[in-house]
């Protein structure tokens, strides 16, 4: 009848991977608290698989889908108040989608749908930084759901080009996306081999230049001292020879009264 109504939340229900969630559903309750005439069935509308069933005052799970075995429960004490919400334990990626709540009692029959949206918090990022003559490479890895959008932003809010790999294995990883994103900052204009070669040649030139200047100073100092000694020696010998050749010296020695 028109007085009987079944309602579910109009907005999507976001469920977190591995956590319990509650699919809300309310209906017009009877004044009679007896549940003998109440039938509650939760289904997946796309394939009609039974998620949970309740009638004759108790759960009836013989036709329940194996995907939900031992994972669902109604709040039986709340059924008398018109609450047919369903609790699902350990949400999985396959649980995402539409759910149909069907309720009937002595007052009528009704149905309503609610959408479950699956999500998984992305794991703590694993960052690795490596430096080489080519530049600096930063790698970011994480897993989660849903599919992410990746953007690298520079210090001045500019978009940076990057390489991103995104894989999804619904069977092995519980529907998680594995994200690997790599950003490379090219800090040196030369290639690795040329950069190292250039650096080594520059250091070699500086070393040789320093060594040569030091040797040159030592050599010039030694040369000057050697030249000075030679010059003094030659000067003394030259002066002595000149003095011995003086005629006045020979004559003076020959005619000296002291020599007679």
Residue 232 in this model has a pLDDT that exceeds 80: no
pLDDT, averaged across the chain: 80
Cα–Cα dist 57/216, whole Å:
108
* 172-201 burial code (b ≥16 CB/10 A, e <16): eebbbbebebebbeeeeeeeeeeeeeeeee
Please determine, for residue 252, whether its predicted confidence score (pLDDT) is greater than 70: no
pLDDT score recorded for residue 75: 96
Compute CA distances 132 → 52, 101, 161, 182, 195, whole Å.
Answer: 59, 60, 19, 15, 10
pTM: 0.63
Residues 194-231 have pLDDT tens digits of 544 554 555 555 544 555 566 666 656 665 566 666 65
């Amino acid at each position: 009848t028109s007085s009987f109504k079944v309602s579910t939340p109009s907005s999507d229900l976001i469920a977190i991977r591995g956590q319990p969630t509650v699919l809300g559903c309310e209906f017009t309750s009877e004044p009679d608290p007896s549940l003998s005439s109440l039938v509650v069935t939760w289904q997946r509308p796309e394939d009609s698989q039974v998620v949970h069933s309740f009638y004759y005052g108790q759960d009836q799970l013989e036709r329940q889908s194996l995907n939900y075995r031992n994972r669902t429960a109604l709040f039986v004490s709340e059924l008398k108040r018109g609450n047919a919400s369903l609790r699902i334990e350990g949400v999985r990626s396959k649980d995402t989608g539409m759910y149909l709540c069907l309720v009937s009692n002595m007052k009528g029959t009704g149905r309503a749908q609610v959408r479950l949206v699956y999500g998984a918090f992305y794991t703590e990022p694993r960052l690795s930084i490596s430096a080489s003559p080519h530049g600096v490479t930063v790698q970011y890895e994480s897993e989660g759901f849903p599919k992410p959008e990746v953007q690298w932003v520079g210090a001045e809010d500019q978009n940076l080009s990057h390489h991103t790999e995104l894989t999804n294995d619904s069977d092995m990883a519980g529907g998680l996306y594995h994200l690997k994103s790599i950003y490379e900052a090219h800090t040196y204009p030369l290639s690795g081999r040329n950069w190292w070669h250039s650096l080594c040649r520059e250091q070699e030139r500086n070393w040789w230049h320093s060594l040569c200047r030091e040797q040159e100073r030592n050599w010039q100092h030694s040369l000057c001292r050697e030249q000075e000694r030679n010059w003094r020696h030659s000067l003394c010998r030259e002066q002595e020879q000149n003095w011995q050749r003086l005629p006045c010296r020979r004559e003076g020695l020959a005619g000296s009264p002291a020599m007679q």
